[in-house]
Amino acid sequence: MNIDLNLEVLSHAYDDMDVTMDILCPEGVAYSEWFANEERTDDGLYQDYLESVKNRNAYMTEQKGDEYKPLTPMALEDFIKSEYYEKEDPDYYVAFVELFSNCIWDVFSGNNAVYYKEHKIDLGTWRGSAQMIADFVNHTCEADITFQSNDFYCGNIDDAFREDYLPIYELIFTRLKAASCTWVIDEDITMAVDAEFGEEMEKGEVMKVKESTLLSALAENMNKEQLKRVEQELKVEQAKDNISPDNLPAIVQAYVNVYGVMPLILKK
């Protein structure tokens, strides 16, 4: 793992957080499509509390195993009377950093990978990459909280098709492209697409390559012509899958919008 290179590429993807917020939320984060309808109701606060207890129990169990005794969450009426009940306006800066960082996790982890030429930006395991992202934002952002790996673990894995995340992914890929990086997705993403759209999708071409072939191509900082030549020389397999350019997860559609081609898919 090349820590310096990892941090350099992460810095390109994040840029300055205030600048990123201004680009994605020109009217202010509170008025953005992601947070405009966020209400601080008693039930909403309680659900946040339950989620925090769940995340803490999961983290501490992972750290200490059977030695840790999981916390039992309070009932709603007890929660409202407790010190945890703070009916204040949301911390929109923290909420934005969390959303953007979950999108970063989606790009760099979850069996997907960013490459700088032939160098893979390896942030570690799913959990390890979440921790590295947490460490990065704790060091570079001015949030009033300390982020933990659980804040970013699994990213937006349950919201892969949310179209409103498209501008976030597009900004990340625009910055990565400017930094001479490309992106490779895991073969399992085809299953996610199949599950979402079934037989209604049209046929679309994707390219599946083995990692050795990928590295040979990336070492040349390939463009479309180079990729075609590498494909011919190394006899890269072409596969037809049930993926339509019009029916892609937002993260893949964002890559296509920025790079103009489908991402490569690593074969297992």
The token pair at 140 is 């570079």
Q: Give residue 138's pLDDT.
A: 95
**Poorest-confidence range of 118-122, 137-141, 207-211, 252-256?**
207-211
Q: Give residue 117's pLDDT.
A: 81
pLDDT band, very low/low/confident/very high, at 233 (cuts 50, 70, 90)? very low
Q: Which of 226, 251, 20 has its CA nearest to residue 114?
A: 251
Determine the straight-line distance between the first and last CA of the chain, rounded to whole angstroms.
21
The structure's pTM equals: 0.66
Is residue 83 a contact partner of residue 107, using CB atoms and an 8 Å limit? no
pLDDT in tens, 15-53: 999 999 999 999 888 888 888 655 567 887 888 788 888
Question: H helices within the chain, ranges in order?
Answer: 3-14, 17-24, 42-64, 76-80, 92-108, 126-140, 166-178, 189-197, 211-218, 224-234, 250-259
Identify the residue whose tokens are 């397999």: 237
pLDDT > 90? residue 118: no
Q: Give residue 177's pLDDT.
A: 94
